[in-house]
Amino acid sequence: MAFGSMGGDSDGEPNAEINMVPFIDVMLVLLVIFIVTAPLLTHTVKLELPRAASSVEQAPARPLRVSIDAQGKVWWEGAVIGAQALDARFAEQAGREPAPELQIRADRSTPYENVARVMSAAARNGLTRIGFVTDPSEQR
Q: What is the DSSP string of the chain?
A: ------SS----PPP-S---HHHHHHHHHHHHHHHHHHHHH-------PPPP---PPPPPPPPEEEEE-TT--EEETTEEE-HHHHHHHHHHHHTSSSPPPEEEEE-TTS-HHHHHHHHHHHHHTT---EEE---TT---
Domains of the chain by residue range: 64-132
CATH number for the region 64-132 comes to 3.30.420.270
Q: Which residues of the chain carry a pLDDT beneath 70?
A: 1-11, 138-140
